[in-house]
Chain A
Amino acid sequence: MLRFILKRLWNGGLTLAALVTLTFFVMRLAPGGPFSKNRKISPDVQANIEAAFHLDEPVWKQFGRFVWGLLHLDLGPSTRFRDYSVGDIIASGLPYSLTIGFWAVVVASVVGVALGIAGALRRNGVTDYVAGIVGVIGIAIPIFVIGPILQVIFALKLGWLPVGGWDAGLRSLILPVLVLALPNIAYISRLTRTSMIETLRENYVRTARAKGIGWRRTLWKHTLKGALLPVVAYLGPATAAIITGSILIETVFALPGIGRHFVDAALNRDYPLVMGITLLYGGLLILFNIGTDVVRAWMDPRLRNAQ
């Protein structure tokens, strides 16, 4: 098992290195730089500013500087937000993104699995249909449509929740978490339902029942673990995607997370910030994938032995 984990980590590290290197050079191909403006300042002053951020050096040297900084856990200063280093910006935004992401994953897993099981046990019943409808809505309607609709209903019409921001404590969390969780509730409930139905037909489940084990015990002890394998496989990358994919949520709900910085940094050619967030997102994605593999291997001995 340890060898399995180490091998995955090594491969993950290589992937991350490739991603970071590619991003660094591709980003410099985009026209314009962090300090292009339509109003000319003195060429000497412009040169001084560029030199302060080492933009006057050849790109390979800048890359060397970046790697050297990385080895010292220093991502450098942001060119757009002059009061903060890239490390400061990530440290200040990440807790918000993680909080929303964490609750969205919890809500999506609990509600999704529950709906899926209910649907599988009472196929074509009321719950099953409701779950199906929620699923279709969650998958089909994009965040930037459903978010504003919920804002209008719950903030403007009913006045129960704030439109955005982080000032109202728990109430600020409800809408963003819900909207972020919704498509995942849909996927998870469909996955659980299908997989549950398949597992219920498995021979070992029938054997368990034939041996006289109670229905409830069969379900919890024998069926669920097998049925949830695909859900776990989905959940790893989905968690990473939820945390890193909150860009739209953060924009629509005016939350101070990290996602908004990503697009903004790219548009402003804030090279260090783009690199920092790419590294973070890439790292998260790879780590969660490895985590998923480990959990699946633990749940399903066949996978472990195949390694």
Chain B
Amino acid sequence: MKTTGIGRWLAGAALALSLGAAAPAFADDVLDRGIGSEWSSLDPQVNFDGAAGWILMDAYEGLVTYGPGGDVQPGAAESWDISEDGKTYTFHLREGLKWSNGDPIVAQDFVNSVARTLDPATVSEKGYYFYSVVQVKGAADIANGVTTDASALGVTAPDDRTVVIDMLTPAPHIMFIMGAFQIPPLHTPSLQANGAAGFVDPAKVVSNGAYVFREIVPQSHVLLEKNPNYWDAANVAIPFVKYYVTEDVTTELKRYQAGELDITYDIPVNQIEALKASIPEQVFISPATEVTYYSFDLTKPELQDINVRMALSLAIDREVLQEKIVKGGAIPSYSYAGGFDPTYDGPKMPYAELTQAEREAKAVELMTAAGFGPGNPLKLNIITTVAEDRTRLAQGVALMWKKVLGVEATVEPMERKAWLDAFYAGGWDVFADNLIGDFAGAETFLAYQRPSSDPGYNWVKPEYDAQMDVAATKPDAASRNIELAKAEKILLDDLIFAPIAIEPSRSLVSPHVKGWVASPTGYYNSQFLSLE
């Protein structure tokens, strides 16, 4: 084809213009990720919030890591052995592991990390993983200041490539808390030279993950660059990852639409339907390890009658609640600890097998038998947080109770900190409760409900504690899950709360990001993603 001089010039200009326009949006060796609120800390032994956990999972590597979909896979350790009683785990580090500054990584770096997390001087809440989620020998005594003797700790390094963890009780779920969020190694010389301030100075942080810190700007962003000293650097596809503070979820959506972000932290609830219609392949909504349940005040005389609690639970149409009222993508739930670990076959709440219409009929019957009716309605308050979807949920529940049972329920939304305080202060009949699990399994949720663990529920049930103790003796996940399911049955049958839903995690993921697989653990390490 013959083109005139002017035609060529025009074509060239158009190409230049189109390139110029496209370049800023997809300058693409950078993965741009939204992160919600600002990280509370980048000190790996202090940080305790999930979103910042994303940054830490990229910058550090634990003994194990979470692969696509959240599977536990070898990290800094290439293999591990478990003792027959399930109390001792021995991890074998890969050969030739290096810190980002080239120093060799030794087993003692992992021991030092746990020791620093537990040391009261560090003022960390995270030691909880080692004395509560699993019971590492000596951890509680060190955290509680009973001893300052580091040699009392059940995490040891017999040689440079072996980390041994001794626990008081078997805990197969320990594998879930061996990732970088909980147990990254500690580069002690840096800490000694720079103190904790060194963790937020990109020039000074020494890390061992797939990425290293390049920029840290509070309230703005963290820029990470590929770590050439990472053992698997050859398989890390994306050269840079930038995490943006995206506090405002509508602004985050617009930044995504403008191409400023590749992955969002959340999706505005009122936009979900529209986005599902227009860009369905970019909307990722999957269950997170978070449950919502409505707890009953067991000290209130009316609610001491289990039939009343049963009726209240049965009158809630969980499907309508999520699909027609809240519409945030939560999954209606008829149990409490099930739905996270596919190998856990847990029980459902009583009458879960009935249809909703049958459940409502049963509810009316129970409520009438308890002496409540049109002339004598049950009066309740529901304490919830001010978050829009939570308030809407509570209003939906109140409406259903009114419609089915004639219950007069008032919704009292509270700011989050006041809501937390109100739980122990009392003054609530129904508490719109929610709990984020420490890992995608049943035990993290069930342990929380032990009357000995949280007295706030005023639930006294020695059988439950006894059954949880039985479960705690089982060293393997399969037989442990069987015992845990028995415990959950005791819990659900007593109806100290009405199960409501499993909360979702919601993200928009740009089509040019490859490798994004929904994960209940909520970790999406950038090293397993690529850009097209």
Contacts and interface: CB of A to CB of B under 8 A. Distances in A.
Interface string B27-58: 00000000001101111001100000000000
A112 interface: no
A82 B143 contact: no
17 contacts: A31-B425, A32-B416, A37-B125, A37-B420, A39-B128, A40-B453, A42-B132, A44-B144, A82-B40, A159-B21, A163-B251, A163-B257, A164-B254, A251-B248, A254-B246, A256-B219, A260-B247
A257 B219 contact: yes
A36 interface: yes
B125 A31 contact: no
B353 interface: no
Given A38-B435, A48-B145, A82-B41, A33 B417 contact: yes
A300 interface: no
A137 interface: no
A146 interface: no
Interface of B: 21, 24-25, 37-38, 40-43, 46-47, 120, 123, 125, 127-128, 131-132, 140, 143-145, 196-197, 199-200, 217-221, 244-248, 250-252, 254-255, 257-258, 260, 415-423, 425, 433-436, 448, 453-454
B420 A80 contact: no
B453 to A, nearest CB: 7
Contacts of A163: 251, 254-255, 257-258, 260
B38 A81 contact: yes
A156 interface: yes
Contacts of B197: 83
Contacts of A35: 125
A42 B250 CA distance: 38
A295 to B, nearest CB: 33
Contacts of B132: 41-42
B421 A253 contact: no
Interface stretch (A117-125, A179-187, A203-211, A261-269): A261-269
Nearest to A261: B219
B144 A31 contact: no
Contacts of B453: 40
Contacts of B38: 81
B248 to A, nearest CB: 5
Nearest to A52: B123
Contact of B423 (A38, A164, A256, A264): A38
Interface in A254-282: 254-257, 260-261, 264, 267-269
Given A45-B127, A163-B254, A253-B251, A36 B420 contact: yes
A41 B218 CA distance: 28
A297 B46 CA distance: 54
Contacts of B199: 83
* Most chain B beta carbons < 10 A, residue from A31, A52, A267: A31
Interface of A is mostly: loop
Contacts of A32: 416-421
A82 B43 CA distance: 8
A92 B260 CA distance: 23
Nearest to B248: A251
A81 B422 contact: no
Contact of A45 (B125, B423, B433, B454): B125
A252 interface: yes
Contact of B244 (A38, A40, A80, A165): A165
A152 B251 CA distance: 10
B454 A251 contact: no
Contacts of B143: 42, 44-45
Interface in A25-82: 30-33, 35-42, 44-45, 48-49, 52, 80-82
A83 B41 contact: yes
Given A31-B417, A163-B260, 16 more contacts: A32-B421, A35-B125, A41-B125, A41-B132, A42-B128, A45-B127, A45-B144, A81-B218, A82-B40, A83-B43, A151-B251, A155-B258, A156-B257, A159-B25, A168-B24, A267-B415
B450 to A, nearest CB: 11
Interface residues of A, number: 51
A52 B247 CA distance: 29
A83 B196 contact: yes
A68 to B, nearest CB: 21
Contact of A256 (B24, B131, B245, B255): B245
Nearest to A254: B251
A89 interface: yes
Q: When A and B form their complex, which 5 residue pairs have the shortest distance between CB atoms, in order from nearest?
A: A32-B417, A256-B219, A256-B220, A44-B144, A82-B41
A84 B258 contact: no
Given A41-B125, A42-B128, A251 B251 contact: yes
A93 B128 contact: no
B416 A267 contact: yes
B349 to A, nearest CB: 22
A30 B419 CA distance: 11
A39 B425 CA distance: 16
A162 interface: yes
B120 A162 contact: no
A166 interface: yes
Contacts of A252: 248, 251
Given A32-B421, A44-B144, A251-B247, A164 B260 contact: yes
Contacts of B43: 82-83
A245 interface: no
Contact of B220 (A30, A33, A84, A165): A165
A283 interface: no
A260 B120 contact: no
A132 interface: no
A148 interface: yes
Contacts of A89: 218
Contacts of A88: 218
Contacts of A260: 219, 247
Given A84-B200, A165-B260, A45 B251 contact: no
A1 B448 CA distance: 68
Contacts of A251: 247-248, 251
A148 B41 contact: no
A93 B145 contact: no
